[in-house]
Amino acid sequence: MRGLLACAMLAATISAAMTTVASAQISDDVVRIGVLTDLSSWGRDNSGPGSVEAAKMAVEEFGPTVLGKPIEIISADHQMKTDVGVNIVRGWFDNGKVDAVADIPNSGIAIAVHNMVRERNKIALLSGPGASSLTDELCSPNTVHFTYDTYALSKVTASAVIKEGGKSWYFITADYAFGQQLEKDATRFITEMGGKVLGGVKHPTNTADFSSFALQAQSSKADVVAFANAGQDTDNAIKQSGEFGLVQGGQKLVGLLMFDTDVHAIGLKAAQGTYMTTASYWNMDEATRAWSKKFFARTNVMPTMIHTGVYGSVLHYLKAIKAAGTDDPAKVMAKMRELPIEDTFVHGGKLREDGRVIRDMYLARVKSPEQSKEPWDYLDIIKTVKGEDAFRPVSESKCPLLKK
């Protein structure tokens, strides 16, 4: 009996020691994730408060602790200003003991933070930005580009529209890193498939009046008017293009980056028939519907792909910390690349060495008012595109991390 008791006490001691060792591998005794997002500008509806709630939902699903230590979500508003975003993250790293930064809608800000994360040996979990250069010539071993990028958006959408006869294109493009990259990537696929770009115009972000841009697009006589912008800019551009009768005149409208919230803001009457590419949709199956209804109860919107990407990237990060037994960035990134990505919206995803998450993308078309059966029933998913077909292949990459 004494022997059994001694063995039990020894086992308990060893277990406690192992727990202590594991817990000791968490820096500062807490895993702290900063959600850097847009809480006050033109990207608020597509990311913003919803991104913060999505990160919290990931923690709730995973559990309140990892390796015996608490998980904390903090957030801040970068106001779509690079200097503001950089200063926030610098403060988080210098004084806030933040381990990873999530979301970051706005590619210019994301690129600056992506470089800082590499220098400070932290981790970036990017869902909001789209610039494909983040995993191409600018690639870093410390960045996860989780959701979408300009390469995939352009390839999937342009290929479908050209096959339907949209041979000539005119761009209305946001004049910053994301818009420029989106137009560049789309132009490549348009020309490769035998189409041509007749011209384009660039606009500053947060533009209210698109009338002159819409008239220039109309006068171009292009088959397709493509909007290489995001958020309220996309909403305003498509609404005003509708008012000037571009669709009635036979031109197709293409939102190269659109979200469910954009369709909601524009309305089905103006947006119907518009092609878009998305990484997720709330109404795919029972699991996505259940998760999205919980999200809606907290935010009063259905989740965009940015929201589901924040949720998925934070959840995968926490799983990797648990598997690695530490929050050391290099070891966590190694586990994130090793583990398959599985969550409510991603199945069999894979983090590549360049930081690009390879996951399925979906070509969608906006429904007409008559086709919609319930609130937020906005999209027809007309094609699933496998990740290896949607994203930049290794053979085209300039990332040195893929050349090892």
pLDDT of residue 164: 86
Q: Tokens in use for 368?
A: 């007409």
Closest alpha carbon to 252 in 176, 338, 168, 194: 168
Q: What is the pLDDT of residues 221-238, one digit of tens each?
A: 999 999 999 888 999 999
In 3-state terms, what secondary structure has residue 204? coil
* Residue 341 confidence (pLDDT) above 50: yes
* Residue 179 confidence (pLDDT) above 80: yes
Cα gap 149→151, rounded to integer Å: 5
Backbone φ, ψ for residue 344 (5° rounding): -60, -30
Q: Tokens in use for 215?
A: 């008239």
Q: In what order do the strands lie in the sheet with 100-103?
A: 65-66, 69-77, 31-37, 100-103, 123-126, 143-145
Cα gap 211→90, rounded to integer Å: 40
Looking at residue 131, the DSSP 8-state letter turns out to be -
Cα gap 229→255, rounded to integer Å: 8
> Diameter of the chain by CA atoms?
93
Cα end-to-end distance, the chain, whole Å: 59
Cα gap 268→263, rounded to integer Å: 7
pLDDT of residue 11: 46
Closest alpha carbon to 153 in 396, 392, 404, 343: 392
* Residue 7 confidence (pLDDT) above 60: no
Q: How many CB atoms lie within 10 A of CB 162?
A: 20
Q: Tokens in use for 91?
A: 């403060």
Q: What is the pLDDT of residues 184-203, one digit of tens each?
A: 999 999 999 999 999 999 99
* Predicted structure pTM score: 0.90
Closest alpha carbon to 101 in 66, 129, 80, 79: 129
pLDDT of residue 243: 86
Q: What is the pLDDT of residues 114-159, one digit of tens each?
A: 999 999 999 999 999 999 999 999 999 999 999 999 999 999 999 9
For residue 109, count CB atoms less than 10 angstroms from its CB and return exposed for 0-12, middle for 13-18, buried for 19 or more. buried
Cα gap 309→87, rounded to integer Å: 24
* Residue 384 confidence (pLDDT) above 60: yes
* Residue 218 confidence (pLDDT) above 50: yes
Place of tokens 């035998």: 194
Q: Tokens in use for 347?
A: 């199945």
Q: What is the pLDDT of residues 59-102, one digit of tens each?
A: 999 999 999 999 999 999 999 999 999 999 999 999 999 999 99
**Helix (H) or strand (E) segment spanning residue 36:** strand 31-37
Q: What is the 3-state secondary structure (H, E, C) of 6-17?
A: HHHHHHHHHHHH
pLDDT of residue 404: 62
Torsion angle defined by CA atoms of residues 258, 261, 262 and 266, in that order, rounded to the nearest 10 degrees: 150
Q: What is the residue-averaged pLDDT of the chain?
A: 92
Q: What is the pLDDT of residues 258-307, one digit of tens each?
A: 999 999 999 998 888 888 999 999 999 999 999 999 999 999 999 999 99
Q: How far is CA 65 from the centre of its chain?
A: 25
* Residue 322 confidence (pLDDT) above 90: yes
Q: What is the pLDDT of residues 19-40, one digit of tens each?
A: 444 444 999 999 999 999 999 9
- The residue that leads in pLDDT, 16 or 311, is 311
